Structure formats: C-alpha cells, structure tokens
Amino acid sequence: MRPSWIPPVLTFALLSPVLALPHGGGDFCQRPPPSTVTVTSTTTLVPGYVKPTGPHQNDNPHQHDVPVYTRTGPDQHGVPTYTPASYSSTYTSESNYPTLPPYPVYNSTAVGPTGTAGPTEVPWPPVKTETSSVIPEPSSSSIEPVPSASCRPSAQYFDRVDKAPSVGTLRAAFLFVDFPDFPATTTVQDLFADYTTAPSALYKTMSYGKLTLEPVLIGDKFHRMPLNSADYNMSRGFSTEEHLKYINDGLTAVGDSASFENIDILYVLPPPEASTVTTSAATASNVTTPDNFVISNSITFGQDLYNTWGYKTLNHETGHTLGLPDLYPYDGRPTTTFAGGFDLMGLVAAQSPDFLAWHKWYLGWIEDSQVDCVIDAGSTTHRISPIEIASDTTKAIAIPLNETAYIFAEVRSKNGIDDEACGTGLLLYIADPAVERKSEPEGADLGSIRVIDTKPKSVGCGKTNDDSGVLNDAPLLLGESWDTELGIIVTVKEVDGDDYVVEVEKLSR
C-alpha cells in the first residue's frame, strides 16, 4: 500500500494556474532580468513511506534503515538533491539523478539535525504547498482503461477562447518592414518564399493534415518604419508598450494599400540586415488594422529567425498564438532543463521537434478517444502508435495525479519530422497546466511539462557536452520499466512494428 502523497519535486504539479505565462510585459519568449525573491515553506512527510528498491536505489546502500534526508540544493540540472542528516553508517547521496529525488523515509525515533524526533527537510527550490491538493481516490473498482473524457482537463486549462485556430485554415498576414538606418537589400518575394513553405509543411505534418497555415503577403514591398530600428528597442526585454508601438507603426506604414480581412494572426518581419531587431516574440494584445479589422494575435520576428533557429522560429512563436506555453525555464537555466530535445516549444532546434501528445490533445489534433485514461488501481495494457504517424489509433496514456496534473506516456520515433531523433521509445512526462511560472530566483520555475529521465546515470544523446542532451534518451525501450515513485509503474512489454505495448500498474493508496 502506498499513501497518497506527492514527492516534493512534484509540488510543481499543484501550484496556482497560469496556462501560458508570457515572459515579460505580455510578450512570449523573452527572459526578463532576474531579481531576488525569497519564499519559504515546509513540506510535511508522511509516516511509513518506505523507500523502494529499483532504479533509484543507492549504489552503496546504508546499513541503518532510517536515514533522515535534508534537501541541500540543486544539482547541475536544477533538480533538488538530498543528503542524509543522520544515520549510523556510510552512505552515498543520490545527487546524480536529474529527475526524481529519493524517497524521504520517516521514522518517529529518528534524530534530525535539530536533535528532535522525526524528519527535518529544508525545502528547495522555494515551493508553495499550501495550495496543494490530495490525489483523488479512484472512482470505481474497474481496472480497464476508460474514455479520456473522464480525465480531460477542465475548460479552465484546456479552453481555446481567444486562441488562433488550431484546426482548419490559419490565415497569417506577412508584413515586411524596413528602417531608415537599415533599408532592405532583398525582396519581400524572396523572404516570403523562404519563410512560408517550410513552416506550412511542418504544421501540416504535425497536425496530421488538420491545420493549414495559409500565408498572405501584405503588399509587394518593404514598408518603411518612421523610426530607426534601434529606437524601437526590439531586443530581449522590451515592454508591451514598445512591442505594440512597433506593430502599430508597421500597420500605419501599410496604410490603405492592403486588406487585412479574415486574417487570424499578423507577422511583422524586418530585413535580415536589421541587426538591432534581435528577438522574436508573440503577443495576444489586440491591434487594429488601417482597414479597421481587429487582430488578436501578432508576432514580431528578429535575427533569431534569420541567423539562429531558422524557419522553425515561426512555428514556435505561432505555437503561442495557438495557446501553447514555452517548455524551457524562465529562470535562466538551460533551455532543455524541462523537456530536453522533445517538442519545439522548448528547444526550437530540438532533436525530436514534433509537438508532445499533450499539446496535440489540446490543439484538437488528437481526439479524446485516442488517449487512454487510467484512473483506477490495477494493471492495464495499452497499445500506442507513434505520435509522428497519422492514424486513428491510441496515441497516449493519461494518468491523473490530481485535478490538473497528469503523467503522460507517448511513443516517440524517427518518423515524420522527428527523423533525426537520437532518442526514441516510450516517453514519460508530467504535465500540469496549472503550474505557476516564475522568472526568479533561479530554480523557482517549476515547468508545466517535465520529462521523466528513465536513464538518470546516462549523459543522454545528441549534444551532451553541456548536458543539453541529457534527457534525449529518456524514453523507455523494450523490456524496460520505470517506477514513477507516485504509485505508478510503467513497463514496455512488446514492440510490434512502430507500436508499443505498454503495461501500467497503478498501486492502491
């Protein structure tokens, strides 16, 4: 029997709701400068929670059966590490595990650092547990998967109000602007061709043909802005007011020379020569066109489109207009800390850039019937096809942890746009749209999606010299099993062609 408490590292799944918090001033994909904020809270451990054997067992198990753990700070991946405060023999702490901490073990006779009985834990990073809720008890005794409608996130977190269309046709206006200090030296026709064909094809593939990005060229020339490029401060950290002035000046420059009727999103692109316009960003602030149409989603592009990430920058930023959050930390840690190289909403140049099943479910590209929902205790078996392949078969397993947090399982392969993936198999992650995103202090952002590293001692694959590839080999392979430390064990029982046969064991609480 396992009690229904949630390990401290997963308190991120229980924080106050922000679906897709912009970085600063209402604009996505900017990191504001950090400031110092101190938050203090305490997590209460539950008596009788015994440390399991398995992947998280220590290399040199201690002889005393009741260690008392103290949280000592982040490891190199920004995840809490633990060292024992007191026990009777030599012990090696588990500081190399980048995903889940070891189980704290409670014993009423253990002596903590203060000399008092019971466990003592120093919380890190600052978390808020007062808003935590208990994982709900199973609603029935059935152990069979049930239609996902019973565990679909509430409309508060899965609504599409004020979002750009994710199914059907998405009409995007391409407005090219230049500046007195950086007049364009190329043609809008060349850039339009370069940055429309590939992004449109990418969305067509990722959405299984359900979304068509239709580019609309506004005019046949660059429209001259009234100010020099540097005067707009379009580098990382600009405000909402600066952002909107830039967009509105671009619209004013168009005048009545073009129509914006039936436009869903507006793209504003500078010439590649405009080196002071560095950062791409999306905003959900309304702007009014010269012909009096209101556009609710706009994106401005910078040098990161031309010189860093390429055309996928457009797919990433457009993802925000569809309602998707950034998957990288806002607090200055590496881009791949939370999601590794899975999903271009994290690392744009990801080794496996296709959207996660969680995102495809939200966007309406995966139907409820394609998500197996596991609510009750017991053992269930599921056949899952790769997320990259269009089909009407099951694409994911959803295991609710509480009213907003889920363990998700999906198959990643080398199909589709993930043909250069170095890590394939059954990917496990925790998704919680209610997580509060923070930009300071470092370590405070807990991430709305966290990939579970089932190879915690591996250096990963792909780019590994700076740990950016450490999560890329996270998926489980044939015969591998992972205890999530939440009373849920996932095992790959069979691989049949591209499909994976997966067993989920949900223990009673």
Residue 353 and residue 486 share a domain: yes
Q: What is the pLDDT of residue 464?
A: 58
Residue 433 and residue 383 share a domain: yes
Residue 245 and residue 196 share a domain: yes
Full domain range(s) for residue 181? 168-321
Residue 465 and residue 382 share a domain: yes
310 lies in some domain: yes
CA distance 144 to 295: 46
277 lies in some domain: yes
Residue 275 and residue 176 share a domain: yes
Q: What is the pLDDT of residue 137?
A: 31
Structure confidence by residue, pLDDT tens digits, 121-174: 222 232 322 333 333 332 222 223 334 446 889 888 898 988 999 999 999 999
Q: What is the mean pLDDT of residues 90-116?
A: 28
Q: What is the pLDDT of residue 119?
A: 28
**Which residues are paired to 117 by β-bridges?**
111
* CA-closest candidate to residue 231, choices 221, 242, 222: 242
CA distance 461 to 79: 20
DSSP structure class, residue 369: G
Task: Return mean pLDDT, the chain.
Answer: 76
Residue 359 and residue 305 share a domain: no
For the cut 90, the answer to whether the pLDDT of residue 493 exceeds it is yes
As a whole-number percent, the residues of the chain with pLDDT over 70 amount to 70
Sign of CA dihedral 406, 412, 418, 424: positive
CA distance 235 to 180: 18
136 lies in some domain: no
Residue 291 and residue 266 share a domain: yes
Task: Find out whether the peptide bond into 74 is cis, omega within 30 degrees of 0.
Answer: no
Residue 348 and residue 443 share a domain: yes
31 lies in some domain: no
Structure confidence by residue, pLDDT tens digits, 198-223: 999 999 999 999 999 999 999 999 99
Structure tokens belonging to residue 265: 């999103």
Structure confidence by residue, pLDDT tens digits, 243-281: 999 999 999 999 999 999 999 999 999 999 999 999 999
Q: What is the pLDDT of residue 388?
A: 98
Residue 193 and residue 299 share a domain: yes
For the cut 90, the answer to whether the pLDDT of residue 459 exceeds it is no
298 lies in some domain: yes
CATH number of the domain bearing residue 240: 3.40.390
Residue 215 and residue 295 share a domain: yes
Q: Is 497 left (phi over 0), alpha (psi -120 to 50) or beta?
A: left
Residue that finishes a domain, picked among 321, 355, 387? 321
Residue 344 and residue 233 share a domain: no
Q: How many domains does the chain have?
A: 2
Structure confidence by residue, pLDDT tens digits, 409-430: 999 999 999 999 999 999 999 9
Identity (one letter) of the amino acid at 388? E
77 lies in some domain: no
Question: In terms of pLDDT, which residue wins out, 96 or 162?
Answer: 162
Q: What is the mean pLDDT of residues 232-237?
A: 88
Find the length of the chain: 509
CB-count exposure of residue 504 (10 Å: 0-12, 13-18, 19+): buried
